[in-house]
Amino acid sequence: MNLQTDKYFFNSVELSAMYEKDALFIDTLVCIHPVLTLELKKKETVKDTAQTITKSFPRLFKHTHFNYINIEDAQLITKTNPDAATSTITQKSNLKVYNLSLEENREPYLQTDSILLGLKNIRFVTPDSLFQILAQELTIVNNNLVLKNVVFGPTAQNHSGKGLTFTAPEFRLNNINFDKLLHKTLQADSAELFEPNIVINSKKTTAAAAQSNTIISKDTAISLVKFYSTLHGFRELVGLEKLRIINGNVSLSSSGKTDTHVHMKGIHATILPIHFVNSDSLVDIKHSLPEVRVASITVQSGKANAQIRNFYFNGEIRKSCADHMHLSIGNETVVDIDKLYWEILDWDVFQKYKKIQITDLKAHQLVIKSTHSTTVSTDTTHRKPWGNLPDMQIFHMNVEHLKLHSIKGVDTMYMEAEALDADTVRTIEHFFTWANIDGTFKNIYVSNKRVKASIHSMTDLKCLFRMHCSH
């Protein structure tokens, strides 16, 4: 290792410490165009330069401290042998360091208050060269690494497609490990990802999509393979105990027999990356999301559209809620739910059997309006069969206020209910079934070609509306 500089200025605090204490104490050091030359062994690569520098520093003195370092136009040159005709030369960069200390027997041996690095377009790449993090600027403040204008995604060598990518104006890693950083690895205690735009793309195979006759495809595992692969790529680049997403956005697109698009805005989430990234299934992912808040969610899949406002999820106690949910299916069915809450959406069952199973579901108000056109063709021979409803089971459901309005040509049905309580609500093909249902029903109105009937209020309907369905 050889270090040369055009000019340097320093102000020593205590020169005698160099031979008395085997220590170097410098108040101010200024270097103009320093050039560090490293001679690598034949089997070594440019990637080994960080390790070479790391091993060299502690050998100079047992204790080293700089109050302030200002380096201008620094460069690094690597050679495979002293007589090499060609060398690898880095771009010139400026560096300012505040309170840098190196202790031979300390872990980590290198500590600093802040580092202002003038490098542009910094790149961190996974060992297999398939994923990368690009940053326009790098700054270190109080042992925290700040990356500006960050892009994460696959490299040019990765031909598997973009499972997950994101951009963010700032990625802050707290209490960065400098030893790992010198080896081009990002490791910290925690991190904040500010205002990220996260894009997730998945594509189902044509054959698998054609075989699916349900709203939820049974080929979910195929569409998640690239997503999991990308998560592992991120984990190889960034080692964290906790990651906070602040005011993020997510766009998810899934193509197949029916294209699905999901947009989430205003995401504030706490993620445990080690558990999240090491999760190879939905079963494990739930444990790595202690808290997720989303201001708005929109889902569009075929004729179905959904909007959710102020969604909250707690992965530790497995409870979720939303201020409002709006669901529309074509121009025929509209569902509005206020103050929706549910407990234990069983992801184990969902992963194994593609079945939505919820222990408890509650809502303040549920309004369902269904309007069918009078011009619907009666020729069923050429009519496309409806896809089955998702396989769903709710063990207990409670709705404080229910309004149901159905219009089909001249046929009309309207009903309201209070304190609706139902057990074992299930879907079978196109239908909903239940084991028991209780409630106070009122303003019941039925009108068709054969009968018209109205009931103002009925309070004791347990025997009339209690129904048991054997499946």
Average of per-residue pLDDT across 26-32:
91
Q: 76-114 burial string, b = 16+ CB within 10 Å, else e?
A: bbbbbeeeeeeeeeeeeeebebbebbbbeeeeebbebeb
pLDDT above 70 as % of the chain: 75
Please measure the distance between the N-terminal and C-terminal CA atoms of the chain and give it in whole angstroms.
Answer: 79
* Predicted confidence band of residue 209 (pLDDT cuts 50, 70, 90): very low
Nearest alpha carbon to residue 342 among 327, 363, 365, 315: 363
Q: Which has the minimum average pLDDT: 72-81, 103-112, 302-311?
A: 72-81
Q: Contact 38/54 with Cβ under 8 angstroms?
A: no
Give the per-residue pLDDT at 54.
Answer: 55
Give the per-residue pLDDT at 82.
Answer: 59
* Predicted confidence band of residue 218 (pLDDT cuts 50, 70, 90): very low
Average of per-residue pLDDT across 164-169:
92
Q: Contact 417/368 with Cβ under 8 angstroms?
A: no
Give the per-residue pLDDT at 215.
Answer: 41
d(C-alpha 38, C-alpha 55), whole Å = 12
Instruction: Give tens-digit pLDDT for 409-439.
Output: 778 888 899 999 989 888 887 777 888 888 8
pLDDT for residue 295 is more than 90: yes
Give the per-residue pLDDT at 387.
Answer: 55
CA atoms within 13 A on the CB side of 37: 13
Q: Which has the minimum average pLDDT: 24-28, 159-163, 382-386?
A: 382-386
* Predicted confidence band of residue 38 (pLDDT cuts 50, 70, 90): low
Give the per-residue pLDDT at 308.
Answer: 95
pLDDT for residue 198 is more than 80: yes
Give the per-residue pLDDT at 46.
Answer: 46
Average of per-residue pLDDT across 376-380:
49
The amino acid at residue 371 is: T
Virtual torsion, Cα 391, 392, 393, 399, nearest 10 deg: -150
pLDDT for residue 31 is more than 70: yes
Q: Which has the minimum average pLDDT: 159-163, 225-229, 317-321, 386-390?
A: 386-390
Q: Contact 219/254 with Cβ under 8 angstroms?
A: no
Identity of the highest mean pLDDT range in 104-108, 229-233, 295-299, 444-448: 295-299
The two structure tokens encoding residue 39:
């001679």
Average pLDDT of the chain, as a whole number = 78
The two structure tokens encoding residue 128:
């297999």
Question: Taking the CA atoms of the chain, what radius of gyration do you get in angstroms?
Answer: 31
The two structure tokens encoding residue 20:
């008395």
Q: What is the pTM of this model?
A: 0.73
* Predicted confidence band of residue 222 (pLDDT cuts 50, 70, 90): very low
Give the per-residue pLDDT at 345.
Answer: 74
* Predicted confidence band of residue 470 (pLDDT cuts 50, 70, 90): very low
Average of per-residue pLDDT across 171-177:
92
Neighbours of 267 (CB within 10 A): 21
Give the per-residue pLDDT at 257.
Answer: 73
Average of per-residue pLDDT across 301-326:
89
Sign of the Cα torsion 256, 260, 264, 270 reads: negative
d(C-alpha 449, C-alpha 375), whole Å = 17
* 221 three-class SS: helix
Average of per-residue pLDDT across 12-23:
78
* Predicted confidence band of residue 207 (pLDDT cuts 50, 70, 90): very low
Q: Which has the minimum average pLDDT: 21-35, 362-376, 397-411?
A: 362-376
Q: Contact 293/269 with Cβ under 8 angstroms?
A: yes
Instruction: Give tens-digit pLDDT for 121-163.
Output: 888 888 888 889 999 988 887 778 999 999 999 888 887 766 7
Give the per-residue pLDDT at 370.
Answer: 83
pLDDT for residue 466 is more than 80: no
Q: What's the angle, vertex CA 409, arms to CA 407 and CA 415, rounded to 5?
A: 20
Give the per-residue pLDDT at 19.
Answer: 73
pLDDT above 90 as % of the chain: 23
* Predicted confidence band of residue 216 (pLDDT cuts 50, 70, 90): very low
Q: Residues 6 or more apart from 471 whose CB is under 8 A from it?
A: 426, 428, 433
Q: 21-35 burial string, b = 16+ CB within 10 Å, else e?
A: eebbbbeebebeebb
